Structure 1
Amino acid sequence: MISLQLLARTFGPVHALAGIDLEVGGHEFVAVIGRSGCGKSTLLRLIAGLLAPTSGRILVAGQEVTRPRRDVSLMFQRPALLPWRSVLANVLLPAEVLGLGDHRDRALELLDLVGLAGFEKRLPHELSGGMQQRVSLCRSLIQSPRVMLMDEPFSALDAITRTELSEELQRVQLEHPRAVVFVTHSIDEAVLLADRIVVLSPRPGRIHEIVDVPLPRPRALGQVELDEVSRSLRGLLGEVTA
């Protein structure tokens, strides 16, 4: 579904990414980890068509990415909900902007899926941070994207809520699989969610290692097998920063 071919991006004298080669399957969940400043968020913006590569190619569903696509959604660290719009109206916003027609039933289905049935008329300030991010997740799914790009979507939440939303995302992916590229600083979160984990080196970001997580789902934090993969990843991160 996603093909990155010798991808590089510079910002003036700063080399953010260099030589990125990566393939992501249509139902595959790929996490990207690395130290701050290694180009993780830049990578997502390139795939989303919000930035142009300095060199290399980006293909989604066989087509070169030159601008944002309707079948690719991007979820940020902060919910960024419009404060004057209800929960339902916030979820429906991408469908309205893209002219996709009436998606009310789809929005209600998504809100029910993430446990927010009955909150359709609430305003964002009436919700907890975790509930706001659930709304943001529904908004990212409203146009049924083939690709979801997620930039540390749970990092601003407390540990308990973060775990709950990670488990919620795992359930959503099991029920409605799609290609996901998920940037995180949390090794445990990456191991819980991903089929493969890409370890980026410090700037310029290069792929240092790709680690498979061949464990059945659903998964739960604290599993011995997950802890073993987490320890291996910590060792890899130590290598690239040594």
Structure 2
Amino acid sequence: MITVEGVSQTFRSGKGVVEALADLNLNIHDGECVAVIGRSGCGKSTLLRLIAGLLPPTTGTVAVDGAAVTKPRSDVAMMFQRPALLPWRNVLNNVMLPLEISKERNDEGRRRARDLLELAGLGGFENRLPHELSGGMQQRVALCRALVTEPRVLLMDEPFSALDSLTRIELGEELQRVHMSRKTTIVLVTHSIEEAVLLADRVVVLSSRPGRVRDVVEVKIPRPRELGPSAHLTEVAEASAQLHGLLMAPTPARSAS
């Protein structure tokens, strides 16, 4: 579904040259949820921008569904740390904004938007303005907005980092429910090992700058996953410990498949 082959990314400025990524190889399968973790500055967000077509790689290729990514695609959506809702538009109209941009605002689009709001626990809030919602509810609206065009790929750049820990857990559970019901391919950048284990089918660990794939950890824990009274807390703890060890130890990089 998503193929990253031999990708390096270099940024040049008046202060010199920064090599963000170096010879990075990664395959992400259709319908998978993959988390990307690593130390600050290792190129996690740069990798998302490359997949989104917002940035051309210095070397190497990025492809989605077999086609090289050279510009943003209509079937790839991106969700950022902040919800960035338009304050003068109500919840439903914020969700429907991508449909207006693509000239798909119709009865089918409105039904899809309402269904997503129901799925995200926002039924009955369609006419509320953003300032009338909590931070967690605003981020749920942003998630619905990202999904309303039914993208094949959803890229998420630390979407829950600005929220309190309880709200992060609740939104993680929400994202699992959306992923299980819609089978969207998700690439999630996060600093949280716990979040990666709870949400991802596989976790890609990047080395320090320049970012390379250090290892890929498969998370074989049944869904839905939670931190509360769960039968899988031991497995969650074991996977978290493995990822923590990879982040701390100077292990060699390798390619991922």
Which TM-score bucket, shorter chain as reference?
A: over 0.9
Contact 2:96–2:105 (8 Å) recurs in 1: no
Structure 2: gaps spanning 5 or more residues: 252-257
TM-score of the pair, normalised by structure 2 = 0.92
Q: 1:147 aligns with which of 131, 149, 153?
A: 153
1:202–1:240 Cα contact (<8 Å) kept: no
Match of 1:180 among 183, 186, 194: 186
Q: CA deviation at 1:20?
A: 1.0
Report the AA paired with residue 143 of structure 1: T
Please, what TM-score do these two structures have when normalized by structure 1? 0.98
Q: Which residue of 1 aligns with 2:76?
A: 72
Map 1:157-196 → 2, pairs under 5 A: 157-196=163-202
The reply on whether 1:225 has 2:239 as its aligned counterpart is no
Q: Which ranges in structure 1 are unaligned for 5 or more consecutive residues?
A: none
**CA RMSD after TM alignment:** 1.0
Shift in Å, 1:240: 3.8
Matched, 1:41 2:51: no
Q: Deviations over 1:170-224 (max 9, x none)?
A: 1111111121100000000000011110000111011111111112111112611
Contact 1:6 1:56 in 2 (8 A): yes
Q: How far apart in 2 are the matches of 1:8 and 1:200?
A: 13
Pick from 224, 235, 246: which aligns with 1:236?
246
Call closer, same or farther: CA 1:93–1:240 in 2, change over 3 Å: farther
Match of 1:3 in 2: 3
Structure 1 segments (4+ residues) deviating >3 Å = none
* Percent of residue pairs bearing the same amino acid type: 63
1:101 CA displacement: 3.6
Partner letter of residue 234 of structure 1? H
Asked if 1:113 corresponds to 2:123, the answer is no
Q: Do 1:71 and 1:144's aligned partners in 2 also have CA atoms closer than 8 Å?
A: yes
May I ask how many residue pairs the two structures share in their alignment? 241
- CA–CA separation in structure 1 for the residues paired with 2:113 and 2:162: 25
How far off its partner does 1:225 sit? 0.4
Where 2:10 maps in the other structure, the secondary structure is strand
Q: CA deviation at 1:3?
A: 0.5
Aligned to 2:85: 81
- Structure 2 residue 54 is the aligned partner of structure 1 residue 50: yes
CA–CA distance in structure 2, aligned partners of residues 172 and 51 of structure 1: 28
